[in-house]
Amino acid sequence: MKTILITGASSGIGQATATHFLDQGWNVIATMRNTDAAGDIKEHPNALVVALDVTDHASISAAVAAGEDRFGAIDVLLNNAGYGAYGPLEAFSMDRIERVFDTNVIGVMATMKAVIPSMRARRSGTIINVSSVGGQLAFPTGSLYHGTKFAVEGLSEALYYELDAVGIRMRIIQPGFVKTNFGGAGFDRADVEALPDYDAPTAGTGRMFGALATSFAEPAEVADVIWQAANDPSDRLRFRAGKDAAIAMLDTRKEQDDQTFLAGIRQLMDE
């Protein structure tokens, strides 16, 4: 029986993935900052609910140790915990900037460092990092969010080669628009009232998202893609999740030069 450790398993994609893997007969180490939010997962005999805050490195080590003590080896790590942040860079304090990067980037790296040694010793394991369409496309006023997701894409691609040498597979999940709390508790929006110079790009971003958000995937759909990535025996790195217009733009970005593509983004902002 295989085991997966999931960060951010209290809601959205993380919760749906925990449920999906449990339904498939896996052991699940469901981690979250507040274990009171675990819901029905806590009652499943193959689940271990553990407190883990990706910005608290001691809690990462403790959660990994608890999971290994309960189930033995961790076969798959899903780095799902993270949140969005939109607004002009100037409007964010350095504390808020550091919080985004500590959660979305440093936390991902710290969790990987905690599981890699045992995977390397076994010459077996899979690490799956949840990125975003926004890990290869950057939208206006998203410097923090896209900066972190571009970082996740870059570090994951580098580790694709590095970890292959020791028998560990690397995977990236790229969801489009998903029905989660991204716009609620999982979101940090800068207050731009004191910076009216940014009213135009801020409003333009809203119009652009309205045009691109043609459909929203259910978290369960993303969980199914994660399941495929965890069990795919090939050397594939990236897995897309969703069918919205933003997903389609990934191909457009590769086909067009910078000037043409960026002009298209400006046009979406103006429509």
Tens of pLDDT, residues 57-97: 999 999 999 999 999 999 999 999 999 999 999 999 999 99
Dump pLDDT digits (tens) for 114-170.
Answer: 999 999 999 999 999 999 999 999 988 999 999 999 999 999 999 999 999 999 999
Kindly report the CATH class assigned to 3-193+216-242.
alpha beta
CA–CA separation, 171 vs 165, rounded Å? Answer: 15
Of 219 and 270, which is predicted with more confidence? Answer: 219
Burial 227-257 (b: 16+ CB within 10 A, else e): bebbeeeeeeebbbbbebbbbbbbeebeeee
pTM: 0.94
Active site residue 113: no
Active site residue 131: yes
Q: Is the pLDDT reported for residue 186 higher than 80?
A: no
Percent of the chain with pLDDT over 90: 78
Q: Tell me, what's the pLDDT at 185? A: 53
Residue tagged active-site, from 10, 83, 86, 131: 131
**Contact, 30 vs 12, CB < 8 A?**
no
- pLDDT-derived band at 182 (thresholds 50, 70, 90) equals low
Residue tagged active-site, from 145, 156, 160, 198: 145
Dump pLDDT digits (tens) for 44-61.
Answer: 999 999 999 999 999 999
- pLDDT-derived band at 246 (thresholds 50, 70, 90) equals confident
Residue tagged active-site, from 83, 149, 160, 198: 149
